[in-house]
Amino acid sequence: MATVTYEKASRIYPGSERPAVNELELQIGDGEFLVLVGPSGCGKSTSLRMLAGLEDVDRGRILINDKDVTHLPPKSRDIAMVFQNYALYPHMTVYENMAFALKLRKTPKAEIDRAVKEAAALLQLEEYLARKPKALSGGQRQRVAMGRAIVRQPQVFLMDEPLSNLDAKLRVQTRSQIATLQAKLGVTTVYVTHDQVEAMTMGHRVAVMLDGVLQQVDTPRALYDTPGNVFVAGFMGSPAMNIKTVSLTESGATFGALSVPLTREQVAAAQGGDGKVTIGFRPEAATVVTESADSLPIVVDLVEDLGSDANVYGHADLGGTSERFVVRTERRYMPHMGETVHIKPNPEAIHVFHAGTGVRI
């Protein structure tokens, strides 16, 4: 069991002025499942590789269990890594792949056999122990890679987009297996993904990164309900939040015929945004209503029928600019492409951000 601490850890690649990871401050608790998420190039994999010892730390420190491991080689950090490409030895059987690290440690044969068989039972791989990787499916290979990490009994598991090579159905199945496995083993786990749905469903906490900078770290529910800035608001959630920068008035915000009341404190905090304020509402926080003076008409571009409900994508004319919106509707009411519908967001579910800084108000 272990804690992990990044203390203003930075990585600057040669020839680059901007750090790939910039002064990362992050504490990961003992037994915690933390997910690093963000778009491509945000620094999440670099952060993981810095912890693994595969990337240099140019400034700051990294600690495992309060021990400074910043400049230790990977083999001295007591971590196990699972990659997206599995990295299995093709000439070895499943058993040999899982046993390999223990053999290098000169672990007694009986102990190796016990550890491999225990991990195989945990991952439902018993019947595949004599097979070679080429005779396995992608999901089975990924479980072998997990098994190889488990038998080592490391202090920390590191997982770098381990599900990205699997098909959609298998990804859903495997992510639930990984989350269940982590809870059972209780090993501190740092998991990297670009998929925010994966992050929301797996992590105890989620750390959102952009351009090498940590934007917010919190529970999935808190990130969804109270995003700290415009980027987190737009990144977390599928479909994405409707976010628009609109005119600020003394009593709130207006876009089109729609008026959004804001508190006096919010209006005051929004000052300095050139007379603008950024408003956001999630697709499920708006309803389709009959035409009224305080509803927003949108022209339907696409209806995404999900069976139980539907996502309706459309556009509205706001001050001469076409702006896109998405709302979630019940199955009994699914409009058609080209139809004009009227929407009204729930005023209690509105998110407000400063138009200049993007910070939550």
> Which domains are seen in the chain, by residue range?
4-234 (3.40.50.300), 239-354 (2.40.50.140)
Tens-digit pLDDT profile for residues 196-205: 999 999 999 9
Is it the case that residue 319 has pLDDT exceeding 80? no
Give the residue carrying structure tokens 């993981």: 48
Q: Cα angle vertex 337, ends 335, 343, to 5°?
A: 50
pLDDT tens profile 55-106: 999 999 999 999 999 999 998 999 999 988 888 999 999 999 999 989 988 9
274 band by pLDDT with thresholds 50, 70 and 90: confident
| Band of pLDDT at residue 345, cut at 50, 70 and 90 | very high
pLDDT number for residue 58: 96
Nearest to 156 by CA among 319, 308, 262, 33: 33
Q: Nearest Cα to 69, choosing from 43, 47, 50, 45? A: 50
Q: How confident is the model at residue 308 (pLDDT cuts 50, 70, 90)?
A: confident
Report angle CA 314, 317, 321 to the nearest 5 degrees. 110
pTM of the model: 0.90
